Structures are given as C-alpha cells and as structure tokens.
Structure 1
C-alpha cells in the first residue's frame, strides 16, 4: 500500500479511451518505491495490451511528479542486486518507451533523477509552470538510468543533455520549454485539464497511423536515409490498409470530421 491510507501506490482511472496512471505516494514525493514499481509493472503491460485504451497519461499526486529513486532501496549495492533491480524496471519501461499508442506525461512539481526519466517517456510532455527538472544522479555518484541518457539528447540535443546530466543543475519549467524538454507549458491549475484535452484528442485519432508515426520517429535516429525511406514506404502501405484511413478519405470527401475507430 502507499503512504496514502487505503490507496494503492499507483492509481489507474479511465476517461473513455484514455487511461490516467497516477503515482500516489505524495509524502515521499512519489519516489520510485517498491510499491510504485510493482504498480507500474502490474498496470503498464495491461494498459498497453488493452485495445480499448488508445492513450496513456502518466502523472503524480501532490507537489511532485516523481522525486527519483527510493533512497531506501540503495543500500543493496552489489552488482548482481543492482542489475536485477534495473532489469525488473525494464520490464515495464521498455514496453512504455516502445509503445505504439500515444503517451502523455503531466509534470506537476519536481521531476528529478528517475522522475526526469519518467517524464521523458511521454510523446507529449505537459508541464505546470512551477515544475522543475533535475538529473539528480551526479549528486549521488550514480549513472543516469531508466533510459534518460537515450531520451534526453533526442529531446534537447547532446550539448544541453550533457550539461543537465553532468552538472546536476535545476532546470525551470520555462527553460525546459524553451529547450524542448517540455512540449506544452501551462498554469498549475490547468495542468490536468490541458493534458486530458490533448490525450482525448490523441485517443480519438487514427491509432494505427499514430503508432506507425512513432515507430518512424524512433528509427529516424538509427537508420541511414535509404533504410529509413524503406521503412517509411512500408509504414505508409500499412496505414493505407487500415479502416481509419478509409474513414479519413471518406470524411475528407464528404467534408466532415472523421470518426476514427483505432483500426
């Protein structure tokens, strides 16, 4: 159980085709405790496999999104124990990063260490103006983890990512937005309303096309041009074969809004 009486460490609720996943240990600023990790490991695969879920939102309860790793788990420092702990996290992290359905993160307050990593699992990152970001890892003598050394350079470029991950300086929401770490910046009281508006629009979109687009964006950093264009052609052929593409063309011709079904 979480620090909030009678509530789980990870809360999942549905808003139509949107699943909202909330880290729920506010007294520890949603640091990645065993219960939170177990909650993510239990819930994420189910949500990713559920065809009725067409967008996932990840956020935190209280004054922080996620303050990083749970310091209580860091007494186990043996190579075997650390690698086993990381590999358990990868069981839910990799599917989340590789997900075809859209993921939106809503950053309330601090996102530090592993919280910064979690923030960057979002395809769209919405931050309140009082949010703040910090690597955290250098302050402990640890290495960046949960994929942040992979995702951060892709978001802000290698020089800025190096600055953030080596100096351990705090980045304000405004600076994060200016450098591209954050994609939307809103007033704190508008955070969830704005996030849900974005998520509902994505959930109502052409799910297969969006997933193929995400795959192309990931491969853009890995393939030479010829290989990328081959993947692009295959993705477009797959998109043209979906029911949503047929609906999109019909709606365009009829001058009406398309009703995508996610197929």
Structure 2
C-alpha cells in the first residue's frame, strides 16, 4: 500500500476495494480521506464493471472516526452543516444505490468510523474489532448515518443504549445482537469479506432490488410495499438477468450476469 495515499483503491474482478489509509491515527477520517470518498464512491456506483464495494482500514483499526487534530476550535454551524452535506452525498450513494457494500471491520470502529462500518449491506467483523459511539464524550451528535442504520440493525431501544451510553461493544456481542453479519478470525477477515463481496456482486439486478426492498420495508406501508414488489418482479422477469439465470440453470453452469 502507498503510504502517502489517503484512500487505497483496488479492483478484484467486479469488486472495488477501498482501504482507509491513515493507520497512525487508526484511520481517522481526515479531510483528505473524506475528499477522496466524495469523488470515488459516486464513480464506483455508476461503474457498470463494479458489482460490490468493499471498505476496510489499513493497519490495526477500521476507523477511529473524525480527525479533530487540525480543528480543535469550534466551527460555525453553517460551516459544519456544509461539511456534512458533502459527506452525505456519498453516504446516500452507498445506501440508495443498487451496488452492494461490504464493510470489513478489522479493529476499532468509533464515532463516524462506527457509522461508516454500519453502511455495509454486509458487515463482516474481525474478532479483534469493537464498536463505540464516542459521541457523548466528544459533545457531538451521531453522524455518518449511524442514528438511521443502527436502529434498523438492533432495534431502537438497544440503539439508544449503544449511542447514548457510549459502551464498548466487542465483536462477539455485536454478532449476538445482530449488529454485524458475522464475526471471523482476524487472519480470515479479508478472505471472508472478499468472498462475500463477490457473491453479492454476482446477480446485480436481483441483489440491487433485494437491497432496495429491504430498505423500503422500513419506509412504507405493506400495501405500497407489495405494489413495489410486484413491479420489481415484473421488471426482473423481463430482464437479461432472468434470461441468463434460467438458461444457466438449464445448461447446469454458473450464470454470467452483467450490471444493469
């Protein structure tokens, strides 16, 4: 990995791998990292050759959250709002797009780093990982979408306790309460995360619709949801993915899907 590159960008077939590269600060989200994410994420979700994005951290941490080393003084509310609006551009892209996202949490994930970890459709955690909100001690509100993603993973009662209590959640507990997809030994983390990303990248339309429909389940009525389900299936059955999947089944071979 390049020591001076804030965000390492690699490709493994249909999987784009992004590695936060600020290891001396446990991958605190420096301005350089945030600027690069703002450029790279929208490009990747629009790239027909990318079916999944895998996000991890260099060294022993996933991300310690915001980098306050250069801005200890209070900023104006307007400046802070505009800074977060920039971050929200690529956060919306990750969540709302049909591109699958895997986060490989290799170590501490705190504050905004916790929020980033929870943006994954799959969250694969090393046994060495842990999570902490950090917001109460920093005197700030939860960010990077954490107040939206965490209740959907663990329920609102438990999410309040995690966010407001600032309690350290180790990987084992995260697995027990359904906060992460699974927990694996540290030496197998990237192997497992990459395998998951390739599996999710396999059928782009089907996976993208599943991602969208799970999200919509929390946002709409059952009647509206079922109408959307019927529409999605109507489009799916007329898609190249379905034709290829049916043909592959008949010919007893793996399907060769393409991103739509």
Fold match by TM threshold 0.5: yes
Do the aligned partners of 2:50 and 2:259 also contact (CA within 8 Å) in 1?
Answer: no
1:66-215 correspondence runs (5 A): 66-72=63-69, 73-203=71-201, 205-215=202-212
Normalization by structure 1: what TM-score? Answer: 0.95
Offset at 1:198?
1.1
Other-structure match for 1:30:
27
Distance 2:90 2:124 in 1: 22
Q: Relative to 1, partners in 2 of residues 1:127 and 1:215: Cα closer, same or farther, differing over 3 Å?
A: same
Secondary structure at the counterpart of residue 33 of structure 2: helix
Offset at 1:50?
0.7
Secondary structure at the counterpart of residue 12 of structure 1: strand
1:52 is aligned to 2:33: no
- Cα deviation code 1:72-110 (max 9, x no counterpart): 335242111111111111121111111211100000110
Q: How big is the alpha-carbon RMSD for the aligned residues of Structure 1 and Structure 2?
A: 1.4
Do the aligned partners of 1:18 and 1:199 also contact (CA within 8 Å) in 2?
Answer: yes
**Structure 2: stretches of 5+ with no match in the other structure:** none
| Runs of 4+ deviating beyond 6 Å | none
Distance 2:228 2:118 in 1: 25
**Structure 1: stretches of 5+ with no match in the other structure:** none
Offset at 1:34?
0.4
Other-structure match for 2:39:
42
Secondary structure at the counterpart of residue 64 of structure 1: coil
- Cα deviation code 1:147-199 (max 9, x no counterpart): 10000000111111011001000000000011111101100010001111111
Offset at 1:42?
1.5
Normalization by structure 2: what TM-score? Answer: 0.96
Task: Compare 66-75 and 7-16 and name the one that shifted more.
Answer: 66-75
Secondary structure at the counterpart of residue 62 of structure 2: strand
